Amino acid sequence: MKEIFETDRLLMNGLPYVFLFEVLFRCIVMYIVALLVLKMAGRRGVQQLSVFELVIILTLGSAAGDPLFYENVGLLPTICVFIFIMILYRLTTFLITKSKRIEKWLEGEAIYLIEEGEFAIDKFKKESLAQNEFFAELRLRNVTHIGQVKLALLETSGQVSVFFYRDEEVQPGLPILPHQFNNLVLQFKVGELYACKFCANICNSVSETKQLECDRCGKDEWVMATDELRIA
């Protein structure tokens, strides 16, 4: 028959104190695993929270709850988990202040998604940002076509910042309203402006043709360009 408030079981659940070294080892492994998985999830996966905040929440979250009601989980190993994780966290933030490379790898940099009314295609592909998700972000800021946007950046927080052209600077651009964006041009007309669906490049030198290749990205899907102003 077990007794309640038995010191050995309450603190260590009968395990020797050297078990705390194993707890340290487990903490290091799980900390690294959580960090790597969150890095792989990409920054859209951890929007609003920094990767570290999430690592702390994940690793400490279950550690905090278990000893509350599992009689076979000792208090001391749990307290050590907290101490070890906080030391690892402090160590990581210390390394970030010391090394630019580590900072860049862990926290990333802001990435240009739109430059001068066109997609920055080389950078766009690398980020796990879905196009329709990005378009939705722009529409929420009253953007109807890419020609209204001077710059858009994916911040390290996962949020998108957008800088607009002044009204007099707005140029013809790729529409992002679904009914226009999905309306592919099948027959080109001289004098009309067309926007590349893939890179938002604008083409105006068309002859009456059925096929037209984008001189910027090489793709051949076009929609009618639009030059309306942004009304916010």
102 vs 217, beta carbon nearer Zn ion: 217
Using DSSP bridges, classify how beta strands 222-224 and 118-119 pair: parallel, antiparallel or unpaired.
unpaired
Residue type at 219? K
Distances (CA, A) of 41 to 92, 111, 161: 19, 17, 21
Q: Cβ of residue 119: shortest distance to Zn ion, in angstroms? A: 8
106 vs 176, beta carbon nearer Zn ion: 176
7 vs 209, beta carbon nearer Zn ion: 209
Q: Cβ of residue 194: shortest distance to Zn ion, in angstroms? A: 10
Binding site for Zn ion (CB under 5 A): 196, 198-199, 201, 214, 216-217
Q: Cβ of residue 208: shortest distance to Zn ion, in angstroms? A: 21
51 vs 214, beta carbon nearer Zn ion: 214
The DSSP annotation for 129-151 comes to: --HHHHHHHHHHTT--BGGGEEE
Nearest to 189 by CA among 171, 218, 172, 210: 210
Q: Cβ of residue 40: shortest distance to Zn ion, in angstroms? A: 30
Q: Tokens at residue 140, please?
A: 């929420």
Q: Tokens at residue 30, please?
A: 């799980």
Q: Return d(Cα 127, Cα 73) in angstroms, integer.
A: 42
